[in-house]
Amino acid sequence: MSVGRLLVVDDEPDFGEFVRKVAVDMDYEVTVTKNGRDFKAAYPDCNPTVLVLDIIIPYTDGMELMTWLAERNCTAKVIVATGYTGKYGGMAANLGEASGLSMVTVLNKPVSIGQLRSALSEEAQTPES
């Protein structure tokens, strides 16, 4: 039995596969998309409990996706993964929180297996109260 449904959007195939492997090992059902358009198409069928969002992706960006998710009253836990250092990840987290999304953490790439497992752990799996 799965612990949750994970929807990933990242335009780096290696990172998407890395997340998929770690999450499957943790008993998640995983869908990986490579751009904002595919993410939006997969979202209704996936009905995710956890999201991993890259910030810079084709056809939209992670910031716009967070607004899109908030408009749909998304209750999934949100993990931001970014290769951009500095304030960018924090700005994304602030936007998500201000939009009413349930933000878990910001992961700065490169991400270790331990960091990803921690982000996907029980904290991410706990349902909204």
Instruction: Give per-residue pLDDT as tens, 11-67.
Output: 999 999 999 999 999 999 999 999 999 999 999 999 999 999 999 999 998 899 999
In whole angstroms, give the CA distance from residue 89 to residue 74.
20
Give the N- to C-terminal CA distance of the chain in Å, as an integer: 22
pTM: 0.93
In whole angstroms, give the CA distance from residue 120 to residue 52.
9
CATH number listed for the domain at residues 4-125: 3.40.50.2300
Instruction: Give per-residue pLDDT as tens, 67-85.
Output: 999 999 999 999 999 998 7
